[in-house]
Every structure is written in structure tokens, then in C-alpha cells.
Amino acid sequence: DNIASLIPYPPGKPLEELEREYGITGSIKLASNENALGPSPKAVAAVTDSLKNLHRYPDGSCYYLAQALAEKIGVSPNQLVFGNGSNEVIQLLIAAFLAPGEEVITSQPTFLVYQKAVQAQGGVNRVVPLVDMHHDLDEIARQINEKTRLIFLDNPNNPCATVFSNESFAAFLDKVPDQVIVALDEAYVDFVEPSLRLDARDFLKHRVPVVALRTFSKAYGLAGLRVGYGLMHADIADYLHRVRQPFNVNLPAQAGALAALSDDEHYEKTIAFTREGISWLSREVEKLGCHAFPSQTNFFLIDVKADGKKLYEALLHQGVIVRPMNAYGYPTYIRITVGLPAENQRFIKALTTALGEVE
Ligand code: PMP
């Protein structure tokens, strides 16, 4: 029954199909929080070079990737578990630690995958609405009971792009019992202003088991390769290794991620163009009478003060793909990912036209 009532994660249509349907060409996609700059050229070269070994299984332990990452972020390799995107690490946590009938607490809205993975496992979702677009940490703590096994907190939150501080997270953990794992999803952590950035490493020795989830899909621009990881106490990692597939991270993905880690210049370029893009876009959007919500990520919400779904359609007709937010409970909002400067300009032009059409 839990599988029969599960609604699959909504897959976007292939770009070419969308273009055919809407009779457009040369569209731009600002819908999936990807890195418009693309990956480091070093990652592309490493992926290309790895193709000569496609007949071989990948390294089942991600040995070199784990060594390099552990050194870069100052942890031990046995505290890392890699996955086919951080999505897989979410699933591994649920597979290892949640029995049917046990509970997981998430916010609403939040990243859709947590609740779907819980349902697939026969677990129970306990959902706490965001307050003022932020996780309601007090209410989440109140909802914990003897059946609670996991709490997922995306920090920054998707879709609201808000963050909580080290202090509020520490105060929250004080109220969490030891048997509950707190998964801190840091998919967008790289984009957070350093002064507001919570450092998950500060919490890895906490009485409460904290697992940070990170990805190469966003700041490193490798969404198509599917590689993410969890950072955790080695004892928890040991359990995740028991339930994961032996070769869960493919060969080009390991090569690309490893090379991406060595290109700090490209990483910094990504962070800079993202910040500049967010502030330029926010200013321009406000000039058009819309409200741009502040963001600590590579995307942000816009209140277009009109039907968001209709506005999404009007943008699509002009070849600009964004994300409507009606399914998230925000009927007048759209979510847009920062593009390259020319894409951002095209979005603003299209938004100007679209607003005239839907009003
Ligand atoms: N967490 C959040 C909050 C996300 O928004 C996303 C991607 N949209 C992910 C995790 C999944 O990332 P990955 O590509 O590593 O599976």
C-alpha cells in the first residue's frame, strides 16, 4: 500500500520535447538549481580520460576520492560515504536506520525526496510547516517521540533558500535524544555567505549523531555525473556501507569529482558569478514590481503577485524554463536558478513580457 500510494518524483520533460511541444528553439533552463557555468575543465578532461576504462568496474570504495576529500575538509576517509548523488545517501540513511512504522520528521516545503524515500520504506512522515520560510526547529523538537529515527533539515532550504545558524542548531540538538539521527542536507552550503555558514564538522562529535549531506551537483557543476556524499561519525558510515550497492558511484563520476576537487579557481568563479547573478536578478525583479526573497543559494523565490503557473507558461512560450511553486503551496511564486549573465538578462526581458500577459 505504501508503494501504491507513492507519487513518483516529477521528472522534467527533456528539453527537446518541451521545445517541440511549445514550438520554441534555443530555450534556457533556469529550473533545476544547476551550475550554469558548467563543471571545471579539469573534471571534463578526467571524465574523458576515464572512458578508456569503461569496461572495468569502478572502485567500490571510492578510495582516491575519499582520500582527497578527507584531506581537503579535514576529516578521516572512514567518515565519508559516497552515493549516486546525495539522493542515494538519503536513501541509504533510511534503508539502514528506519524500520516500517517508525517515523521521520521533515519540514514542509522541503526537498521532496526525503518524504518519498520514507514512504517507500514503509515509514511514517511527520511534517512540520516552515515558519516565515525557515525550519521551525522548536516545533520539530516538540514532535520527536519514541518512534522518531531521523530528522532531515535542508540548510539552506530548498525552495526557500534560507539558513539557520550554528547557535540555533546547537540549541536544537540539545533537545534531541541520542537515538535520533539528524541529517543536515548541505547541498547548497557552498553558496552560503561565510559569516552565515554553519560548519557541520563542528557537530560530528555531538552526543546526537549528525550526518551532513553534500553534493557535486551544485557548486561543482556535475549534476549529470551523479555524485554526492555524507559526512558522519565512522560508526554510522559503517552501517551505510552495509546497505549500499558495491559499485554505487560510477567510474566517470569518481574521476570527475576527484578532478573537480583540485580546481579551486573554478569553484571560486562559480561562487562569484552566483552571488553577482543573485543580486543583479533580485534588483531587476524588484524593479518590475515583483518581490525577490533573499537567498543563500544559487536560486531564489520570486513572488510575481499573479498566478505563478500561468506566468511559468508565459515564460515557457518565450523559451525560458523556471519552476512554478504551486505544488509547494506558493501559488503566486516561481523559483529561478541563477544563469549566466546573458541568460539572466533574457529572463528579465521574458519576465517583463510575461507579467504584461498574465495581469
Ligand atoms: N538536497 C537538496 C536540498 C537538493 O535541492 C538536491 C537537488 N535538487 C539534492 C539534495 C540532491 O542532489 P544530488 O544531485 O546530489 O542527488
How far is C-alpha 337 from the chain's CA centre?
A: 12
Q: How far is the CA of 224 from the centre of ligand 1 (A)?
A: 12
90: Cβ below 6 Å to ligand 1? no
This complex has an ipTM of: 0.99
Pocket test for ligand 1, best of 111, 184, 191, 249 (most atoms within 8 A of CB): 111
228: Cβ below 6 Å to ligand 1? yes
Q: How far is the CA of 87 from the centre of ligand 1 (A)?
A: 6
Q: Which of 38, 22, 33, 35 is nearest to 319 (CA)?
A: 22
- Ligand 1: nearest atom to the Cα of 111: 3
111: Cβ below 6 Å to ligand 1? yes
Asked whether residue 284 carries a pLDDT value surpassing 90, the answer given is: yes
Q: Which three cell numbers stand for residue 283?
A: 534588483
87: Cβ below 6 Å to ligand 1? yes
- What pLDDT sits at residue 199? 86
Chain segment 231-275, per-residue pLDDT in tens: 999 999 999 999 999 999 999 999 999 999 999 999 999 999 999
pTM over 0.90: yes
295: Cβ below 6 Å to ligand 1? no
Chain segment 198-239, per-residue pLDDT in tens: 989 899 999 999 999 999 999 999 999 999 999 999 999 999
- pLDDT band at 10, cuts 50/70/90? confident
187: Cβ below 6 Å to ligand 1? yes
Asked whether residue 79 carries a pLDDT value surpassing 80, the answer given is: yes
Q: How far is the CA of 178 from the centre of ligand 1 (A)?
A: 26
Q: How far is the CA of 130 from the centre of ligand 1 (A)?
A: 19
What is d(CA 179, CA 241) in angstroms, rounded to the nearest whole number?
19
Q: Cβ distance 246 to 94 under 8 Å?
A: no
154: Cβ below 6 Å to ligand 1? yes
What is d(CA 346, CA 263) in angstroms, rounded to the nearest whole number?
30
Q: How far is the CA of 158 from the centre of ligand 1 (A)?
A: 9
Asked whether residue 285 carries a pLDDT value surpassing 90, the answer given is: yes
What are the structural domains, with CATH classification, of the chain?
A: 15-30+265-358 (3.90.1150.10), 41-261 (3.40.640.10)
Asked whether residue 359 carries a pLDDT value surpassing 90, the answer given is: no
Query: Beta strand pairing status for 228-231 and 333-337?
Result: unpaired
- What pLDDT sits at residue 9? 82
